[in-house]
Amino acid sequence: NAGVTQTPKFRILKIGQSMTLQCAQDMNHNYMYWYRQDPGMGLKLIYYSVGAGITDKGEVPNGYNVSRSTTEDFPLRLELAAPSQTSVYFCASSFFRGSSGANVLTFGAGSRLTVL
Amino acid sequence: AQKITQTQPGMFVQEKEAVTLDCTYDTSDPSYGLFWYKQPSSGEMIFLIYQGSYDQQNATEGRYSLNFQKARKSANLVISASQLGDSAMYFCAMSRGGSQGNLIFGKGTKLSVKP
């Protein structure tokens, strides 16, 4: 049981380049998320998905795109990379019924992206 | 606007002693959840404990307990009998709006346990 798998773990991009961060989960979770963590800060939500074919913006969506064609995969696309996108990116997933109880997120190990 | 505040950038505690990490929150939603996550130096995020806004009793998970004071809008994490492995960043988070998965995070507290 791998949980949430993110690739790559590290990447250096030049300004203006594009790339996709991959995220896959094998827990049959319905919810998936992308967060970014800037140095010395907490996590900020970029995009999330409540199921295949459904995505929505979080707090900081500008410069990113996502898709959710399957339950398992939730890739994050960076278009025209900028230095402000230098960060650690975390993918997470959860199984949430939309009722009471904790919606506990399982996080991937993170992807460290540097834009030069 | 919803907000999480952690006012202690760094804390030191002696091994085997208890420590309290502070967290205050602001929300106008009657239903919300409060979470604590641990981030060791290796970088992964580890769920520790959860408290629902309607829960009558404070949550406990092993050596972790959440001191929930609803009127004061505080959700402090108490770690009893600190261990060297507790040295890490600790983040308080709150579920946002109707979707409990959309967490907003505080800036974190770095806990260092001294032998």
The per-residue pLDDT for range B66-107, each reduced to its tens digit, is: 999 999 999 999 999 999 999 999 999 998 655 556 889 999
Q: Is the pLDDT of residue A6 over 70?
A: yes
Average pLDDT over residues A8-31: 96
* C-beta atoms of A50 and B105 within 8 A: no
At A40, the pLDDT band (50, 70, 90 cuts) reads confident
pLDDT of A102 higher than 90: no
Which pLDDT belongs to residue B98? 57
Task: State yes or no: pLDDT of A104 exceeds 90.
Answer: no
* Rg of chain B in Å (alpha carbons): 14
**Site from A105, A106, A111 to mutate, B interface, most B CB atoms within 10 angstroms:** A105
**CA dist., res. B101 & res. A86, Å (int):** 25
CA A65/CA A102 separation, integer angstroms: 28
pLDDT for B101 equals: 63
pLDDT at A41: 87
If phi over 0 gives left and psi between -120 and 50 gives alpha, with beta otherwise, what is residue A3?
A: left
Q: B92: nearest CA in chain A? A: A42
Residue type, B77: L
Q: Classify residue A106 by burial, with Cβ atoms within 10 Å: 0-12, 13-18, 19+.
A: middle
**Cβ <8 Å between B100 and A92:** no
Among A42, A102, A109, whose Cβ lies nearest the Cβ of B105? Answer: A42
A-to-B residue pairs, Cβ atoms closer than 8 angstroms: 62
The pLDDT of residue B51: 93
| Confidence label for A81 from pLDDT (cuts 50, 70 and 90) | very high
| Residue among B24, B22, B21 nearest B3 (CA) | B24
Which chain B residue is nearest to residue A94, measuring alpha carbons?
B101
